[in-house]
Amino acid sequence: MARLQFALSRSLLLMACCLIGAGCAHDTYQERANLIKNHADAFYDSLKANRVESAVRANEQIETMASEMGDTVRKRAGQQGATAVEREFALMTTANEAAATNWLALGQYFTIKRQYPQARATYRRVIDTYTNATDRPYREQALRALRDLDMLSPPATTTTNP
């Protein structure tokens, strides 16, 4: 009888360990996707609370993630199976797009707050930072926003005396 209880206990313990082990096995891809989402949520929450510095920091974290993922894609392109690299590339693209979109939103925030120099600097940052061919829509949107800002508040011109 004691042997049966021991065998049953051992079986239950083994099943519990398997279940715990399965629960511990995690999808790092999904974790990082969630982290991007959390940073994006923090960005917008910070803007809603007028905490611009916190919003900028949250977006910089997304950019850092995208950069690190880009490094990983370049390093692993020839080493791993295509699926792992494709997932990493897709996640990198998502992070990059989220960051660019957030910078454009920050420019809009500054425009609404009539902080035109900050808006211009933010749009300039998009134009200067997002230079890949796939980033073209973000650059074009930033250029349009700069032209719109010129209608609202012409840029300050400096005059030089010859």
Domains present along the chain, CATH in parentheses: 28-152 (1.25.40)
Compute the average pLDDT of residues 121-133.
Answer: 97
Residue-wise pLDDT tens digits, 28-80: 889 999 999 999 999 999 999 999 999 999 999 999 999 999 988 888 776 65
Residues 6+ apart with CB under 8 A from 148: 111
**Distances, alpha carbon 56 to alpha carbons 19, 29, 47, 60, 138, in Å:** 41, 24, 9, 6, 17
The letter for the amino acid at 11 is S
pLDDT of residue 19: 43
Residue-wise pLDDT tens digits, 90-114: 999 999 999 999 999 999 999 999 9
CA dihedral for 67, 105, 131, 80, sign (positive or negative): positive
| Residue reference for tokens 């991007």 | 36
Helix residue spans in 25-115 (DSSP H)? 28-48, 52-76, 82-112
Query: Which pair of tokens denotes residue 12?
Result: 């239950």
131 three-class SS: coil
Cα gap 149→116, rounded to integer Å = 7
- pTM greater than 0.75: yes
pLDDT of residue 27: 80
